[in-house]
Amino acid sequence: MKNTLKTLFVLLMISVCAFTFAAGQQEPSTSPAASDASAAPAASAAPAAPENPRIKMATTTSTENSGLLAVLIPAFEEATGYKVDVIAVGTGKAIALGEAGDVDVLMVHARSQEDAFVAAGFGVNRRDLMHNDFVVLGPDSDPAGIKGMKDAGAAFAEIAASGADFVSRGDNSGTHTKEKEVWATSGAAHSGKWYKEAGQGMGAVITMTDDMQGYTLTDRATYLAMKDNISLQIVVEGDPVLFNPYGVIAVNPERQPHANFEGAMALINYVTGKDGQDVIRNFILNGEQLFYPDVIK
């Protein structure tokens, strides 16, 4: 009996030693690398570099003057690896750049011109993007007596009758296109020394109007971005005719084979997708929302 117990004890000790030796051959679980990996999640991988990473976009001065592009474009670039070269001009000039094949994608706000661009075969895959509205700016003195009016055409008629200075973009931009629509509803002629065509972007026109203490039509976003530096105020707003929708359009690669169509669609998909629409929705200046997304509301 004693011999049997002695034998069992020896076998037990041999098993314990073997287990201890095997455990000692394993990698220690407390190595710095192992600790770091468990303490913090791995960094997200950078997006793969696109084959053609440069995108040329023609857009309106309002998207740049308002500051929207300064947040929207970097967000897109970080998410995709693309780099965007922005040309900010009036919608008419932006569309002309698209027709000539000098850009890959447009972000503009004159629906009649956009539809004509697509119908002529220059653009494809137009999508609604966002909207805000136009407003009429004027001085505190309000020489035309239009403050608070809700009919933009009637307000324009009063400006013409008063002979007060009115500064027009005069550049075939989306804002100029809308201005001409309002003049058409006013029944008033817009000519004479009081009517001044600047041929400039929105920011420059607002500054010029402020210097003259006259009137002008602007998109609300550019006014909000500039209002702390000017004395003009909104005198007319709320007329449905002043609705201001924006769209994005890819240049047709069948018409312009050198266009970066893949890049254009990457940009369009981003700005009309959840991430891009969230950037647009969350673009707040001085407590006010400047644009309203049209795809994901």
Rounded Cα gap, residues 279 and 63, in angstroms: 13
> Quick count: other Cβ atoms within 10 Å of Cβ 188?
16
What was the pLDDT predicted at 177? 95
The residue among 242, 261, 285 that closes a domain is: 242
pTM over 0.85: no
- Output the pLDDT for position 286: 85
> In the chain, how many domains are there?
2
Whether the CA torsion 133, 214, 94, 69 is positive or negative: it is negative
**Do 149 and 125 share a structural domain?**
no
Residue-level length of the chain = 297
pLDDT at 81: 96
Does residue 141 fall inside a structural domain? yes
Measured between its terminal Cα atoms, the distance across the chain in Å is 86
- 59 and 198 within one domain: no
Residues 82 and 211 reside in one and the same domain? no
Tokens of 220: 């609300």
Q: Is residue 86 part of a domain?
A: yes
Q: Which domain holds residue 166?
A: 133-242
Examine the fold and report which residue of 222, 242, 262 is the final residue of a domain before the chain moves on: 242
Residue 100 lies in a domain: yes
- Do 235 and 104 belong together in one domain? no
The pLDDT value recorded for residue 50 is 87
pLDDT score for 110: 94
Q: Considering 242, 257, 278, which residue would you say is the last residue of a domain?
A: 242
234 and 91: one domain? no
Task: Write down the pLDDT at residue 45.
Answer: 62
Dist. CA 65–CA 225, nearest whole Å? 7
Residue 252: CATH number of its domain: 3.40.190.10
Tens of pLDDT along the chain (297 residues) come to 444 434 433 343 444 434 343 444 443 333 333 333 333 344 456 677 789 999 999 999 999 999 999 999 999 999 999 999 999 999 999 999 999 999 999 999 999 999 999 999 999 999 999 999 999 999 999 999 999 999 999 999 999 999 999 999 999 999 999 999 999 999 999 999 999 999 999 999 999 999 999 999 999 999 999 999 999 999 999 999 999 999 999 999 999 999 999 999 999 999 999 999 999 999 999 899 999 999 998
Residue for token digits 């440069």? 54
Shared domain check, 137 and 273: no
User: Is 126 found in the same domain as 75?
Assistant: yes
The answer to whether residues 155 and 199 belong to one domain is yes
Give the integer Cα–Cα distance in Å for 203 and 176.
14
Domain assignment present for residue 14? The answer is no
In-domain check, residue 35: no
* Interstrand relation of 166-168 and 123-138 (parallel, antiparallel or unpaired): unpaired
